Chains A and B, each alone.
Chain A
């Protein structure tokens, strides 16, 4: 892991690389708690989980044609969802090739034929 962290300011149009604090370099919860204490660790993690959870709700709110204010999910529908067991998803960044393979695997035989015809022609 890099010992440096890059910070950008769009407002000032500046970018700087600085030393990365130890708290951002730990790999276990125990190490984190040792540095900042359990209370702060829990509060910081929950703050991030709140952001993740709201992002999930926001995508439900925005689904549909946002410009025409035609939304797929009503307030009633969103409020009726049971979020009690919600957990954050681990986002694994996929490579372009992995994304392409995933998309190709979902195509129908006819669609796959179209892609193959176009991509294998010389």
Chain B
């Protein structure tokens, strides 16, 4: 089977993500790899779908397995990972987290690290908007 160039390239990004030690660099490679897979799916709907799903699943799991590295991280890096796990890759992340209780616990620790601050500022902004309207 001939593997399309786009998938080979995205696989190379995903492998570099696995190997990267810097968590910011790791996420950049992951996003580049996933973006390439998404654009391939847009251009060739339904083609190589099993391979693409396997790649996405494997590397989402790999990112989730590295949650231990994501403790005590800087707020901006935390937000990037938070958006990764809850954004375009939410389906892959959620299904994995639901299957593994240990992963779920680690994810909760990760999420709780900074989410409180965001909840606080968003709640404050909503209150200010409400007060302004009244």
- Which A residues form the contact surface with B (CB < 8 A)? 64-68, 96-97, 99-101, 103-104, 107, 110-111, 114-120
- Tell me which of A64, A66, A97, A120 contacts B117 (CB under 8 A): A97
What CA separation (Å) do A64 and B20 show in the bound complex? 11
CB of B83 closer than 8 Å to a CB of A: yes
What CA separation (Å) do A1 and B118 show in the bound complex? 32
Q: Which 7 A-B pairs have the closest CB atoms?
A: A67-B21, A119-B119, A96-B117, A100-B117, A100-B121, A65-B25, A119-B122
Report whether over half of chain A's contact residues are helix, strand or loop; otherwise say mixed: helix
What CA separation (Å) do A115 and B118 show in the bound complex? 8
User: What would 10 more interface pairs be, CB under 8 Å, given A100-B75, A115-B118?
Assistant: A68-B20, A68-B21, A97-B121, A100-B114, A103-B75, A103-B79, A114-B83, A115-B83, A115-B122, A117-B86
Residue of B nearest to A116 (CB): B122
Q: Which residues of B contact A107 (CB under 8 A)?
A: 83
Interface residues of B in 1-57 (CB under 8 A from A): 19-22, 25
- Tally of contact residues, B, Cβ under 8 A: 23
Residue of A nearest to B120 (CB): A97
What CA separation (Å) do A115 and B19 show in the bound complex? 29
Q: Judging by beta carbons under 8 Å apart, are B75 and A99 in contact?
A: yes
What CA separation (Å) do A35 and B86 show in the bound complex? 58
Q: Judging by beta carbons under 8 Å apart, are B86 and A65 in contact?
A: no
What CA separation (Å) do A65 and B79 show in the bound complex? 20
Q: Judging by beta carbons under 8 Å apart, are B76 and A103 in contact?
A: yes
Q: Which residues of B contact A65 (CB under 8 A)?
A: 20-22, 25
Q: Judging by beta carbons under 8 Å apart, are A67 and B87 in contact?
A: no
Q: Which residues of A contact B118 (CB under 8 A)?
A: 100, 104, 115, 119
- Offer 11 A-B interface pairs, CB within 8 angstroms, sorted by A: A96-B117, A97-B120, A97-B124, A104-B121, A111-B83, A111-B87, A114-B83, A115-B82, A115-B118, A118-B82, A118-B115
Q: Which residues of A contact B82 (CB under 8 A)?
A: 115, 118
Residue of A nearest to B111 (CB): A118
Q: Which residues of B contact A104 (CB under 8 A)?
A: 118, 121-122
